[in-house]
């Protein structure tokens, strides 16, 4: 591990030299590429620099023990060694995590798709609650959200909503949200006061750039139609809504929320590109899982991952056995404790497997 860290440090310092090179400064592509690479190495470089400093201090402190010291100084050296040993162990754990393989999609924006599943109107209302939860979490992270497509029911719930969350590290924090989310509560449509169980599904996809998914015009079919609102009533007499079909894969994306046909086509292509990219990711994940079944983030979108029990104010993530009794704050977007727990569980699994 130390050899890998030294190589990393050497590369970081080489990048510092390159970024000071006038030729690189005049080349925007190289400047952006080297700056990003150095930024990605920064945390590990800082940890390794501190680790070397701690090791040097520890060596000096241990050497002092062999010198003739009075009792008070000997006690101070002993305390310093204990503190340095503790810091050394913590840094070693931090470095192990920093050296784990990075998900290349972690820094990307995401496209989130939420759909009401089992439970009819109640499932659609819960889908709307999940949408609010994620947008409020995005706000707390300083991210931006944009609705790409939405289909309302008569009660104001979402039969389906597709939206983008843009911000640094969005995928790294939201990638474990894909799956079936179950709600247990008394629906507003229930007159007898009985608790119902409904589900909504969430899919989180990293945004794909054009260079990652090249969609040829000859490979797509574009259909236009009049947009419609809740209950299917027409809200637009012009054919501004767009449906784009990728013929080689059969993947479809629709958008009708934009102000114009061109705007809707652009958004539909954005979703289509992400879905095609996601298809390739899922195929790779399935190959990976056939060799080793992962505990967290298997990519199985039908898996029930979390239960929201309103009568008991309880949220349970079934993958890691985490239960929190503060449902209201979580539904208000305070997801960080769950996100952190899922991240730590994944890191622990990777460390255990020696990856």
How far are the Cα atoms of 74, 141, 317, 347 from residue 342, in angstroms, in the given order?
Answer: 44, 17, 9, 9
Which candidate, 280, 308, 104, places its Cα nearest to that of 198?
A: 308
Residue-level pLDDT at 301:
55
Residue-level pLDDT at 212:
67
Q: Can you give the length of the chain in residues?
A: 355
Bridge-partner residues for 113, per DSSP?
Answer: 162, 203
Q: Which CATH architecture has domain 110-350?
A: 2-Layer Sandwich (3.30)
How far are the Cα atoms of 210, 241, 285, 327 from residue 282, in angstroms, in the given order?
Answer: 19, 29, 5, 31
Give me the average pLDDT of each 10-residue run along the chain (355 residues). Answer: 84 92 88 88 91 93 85 89 93 84 85 89 93 96 91 86 92 93 86 84 85 76 72 52 88 81 84 87 67 49 86 94 95 94 87 68
Which candidate, 100, 151, 81, 96, places its Cα nearest to that of 123?
A: 151
How far are the Cα atoms of 32, 215, 269 from residue 251, in angstroms, in the given order?
Answer: 33, 12, 11
Residue-level pLDDT at 292:
45
Per-residue 3-state assignment (H helix, E strand, C coil) for 225-253: ECCECHHHCECCCCCCEEEEEECCCCEEE
Beta carbons of 38 and 12 less than 8 angstroms apart: yes
DSSP letter for 177, please. Answer: G
Count of beta carbons in the 10 Å neighbourhood of residue 39: 11
pTM of the model: 0.71
Kindly give, in sequence order, each residue whose CB lies less than 8 Å from that of residue 218, ignoring residues fewer than 6 positions away.
none
Residue-level pLDDT at 318:
94
């Amino acid at each position: 591990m130390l050899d890998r860290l030294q190589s990393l440090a050497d590369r970081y310092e080489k990048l510092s030299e390159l970024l000071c090179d006038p030729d690189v400064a005049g080349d925007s592509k190289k400047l952006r590429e080297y700056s990003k690479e150095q930024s990605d190495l920064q945390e590990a470089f800082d940890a390794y620099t501190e680790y070397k400093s701690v090791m040097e201090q520890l060596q000096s402190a241990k050497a002092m023990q062999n010198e003739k010291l009075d009792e008070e100084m000997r006690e101070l050296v002993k305390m310093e060694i204990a503190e340095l040993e503790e810091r050394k162990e913590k840094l070693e754990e931090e470095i192990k995590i920093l050296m784990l393989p990075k998900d290349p999609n972690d820094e990307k924006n995401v496209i989130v798709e939420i759909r009401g599943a089992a439970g009819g109107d109640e499932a659609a209302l819960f889908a709307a609650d999940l949408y609010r939860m994620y947008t409020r979490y995005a706000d707390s992270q300083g991210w931006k959200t944009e609705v790409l497509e939405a289909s309302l029911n008569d009660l104001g719930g979402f039969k389906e909503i597709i939206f983008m969350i843009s911000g640094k590290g969005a995928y790294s924090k939201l990638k474990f949200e894909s799956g079936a989310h179950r709600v247990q509560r008394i629906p507003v449509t229930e007159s007898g006061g009985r608790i119902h169980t409904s589900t909504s599904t969430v899919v989180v996809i990293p945004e794909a750039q054009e260079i990652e998914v090249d969609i040829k015009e000859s490979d797509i079919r574009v259909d236009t139609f009049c947009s419609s609102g809740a209950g299917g009533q027409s809200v637009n007499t012009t054919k501004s809504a767009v449906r784009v079909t990728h013929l080689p894969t059969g993947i479809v994306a629709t958008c009708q929320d934009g102000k114009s046909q061109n705007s809707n086509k652009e958004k539909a292509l954005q979703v289509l590109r992400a879905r095609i990219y996601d298809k390739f990711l899922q195929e790779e994940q399935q190959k990976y899982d056939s060799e080793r079944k992962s505990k967290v983030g298997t990519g199985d979108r039908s898996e029930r991952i979390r239960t929201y029990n309103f009568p008991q104010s309880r949220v349970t993530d079934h993958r890691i056995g985490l239960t929190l009794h503060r449902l209201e704050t979580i539904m208000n977007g305070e997801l960080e404790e769950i996100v952190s727990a899922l991240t730590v569980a994944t890191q622990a699994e990777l460390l255990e497997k020696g990856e």
